[in-house]
Amino acid sequence: MLTCRRVPGRQRGQALTEFALVAPILFLLLFGVIQLGLLFGSQNGLVNGVREAARRAVTYRVNDASLMDAGIRAAVCTAVAGELDAQLSRALPGFDALRLHQAVTYHWEQNPGAASADERYFLYVQVEASYDHPLYVPLVGIVFDALDGSSDNAFTLRASEQMRVENPSLALGTTPPDCPAT
């Protein structure tokens, strides 16, 4: 009668083969989680930076004369852009100001509880920003790069915030100029 005997040491090759089959999937999942963590952290930083920039923008009181004054408008735009850059440089790892696109706009809104004709309208500021966050993990970056619709090895993060400007009443016909978009 024939009997099979096990040869010692033949099981080690099987574990190596299983590891070779499973390791790429595990590493892709691990690096995918790392890349998502970086993106979520940067999105939180962008939202906080935009909120702080909007808070900075509403501190400037706007009246009919200052709406059209280019010097005052430039000071407001510079202060808001500086606040956003300062917030993002602290919050985003590897922040690059050239990847940031921002816009500050002023809009009229009707005041439903107006007591007089002078208080029928109010002004609010809207700060919008988008940041092309670089993708650091090469293979996972290919998947995330396709999700935002552009193939530039970056994932576009967006945030927007609007706040009411506490202001004296303005003439309705006055159109507030916006900060130049960057």
Report pLDDT for 4. Answer: 63
Residue 104 neighbours by CB under 8 Å, 6+ apart? 53, 57, 76, 77, 80, 81, 125, 126, 127, 128, 178, 179
Residue 54 neighbours by CB under 8 Å, 6+ apart? 125, 126, 127, 161, 162, 163
Report pLDDT for 114. Answer: 65
> Is residue 34 included in any domain, yes or no?
yes
Report pLDDT for 165. Answer: 80
Q: Does the pLDDT value for residue 178 go beyond 90?
A: no
Q: What is the span of the domain harbouring residue 146?
A: 20-165
> Is residue 12 included in any domain, yes or no?
no
Instruction: Look at the chain and count its residues.
Output: 182
Report pLDDT for 139. Answer: 81
Separation CA 181–CA 61 (nearest Å): 21
Report pLDDT for 160. Answer: 94
> Is residue 6 included in any domain, yes or no?
no
Averaged pLDDT for residues 110-132 = 76
**Tokens (6 digits) for 83:** 């606040």
> Is residue 179 included in any domain, yes or no?
no
* 171 or 125: which leads in pLDDT: 125
pLDDT classification of 41: cutoffs 50, 70, 90: very high
Averaged pLDDT for residues 119-144 = 83
- The structural domain count of the chain equals 1
> Is residue 124 included in any domain, yes or no?
yes
pLDDT classification of 104: cutoffs 50, 70, 90: confident
Q: Beta strands 154-165 and 121-134: pairing type? A: antiparallel
Separation CA 99–CA 46 (nearest Å): 12
Give the number of C-alpha atoms closer than 13 A to the C-alpha of residue 179, restricted to the C-beta side. Answer: 26
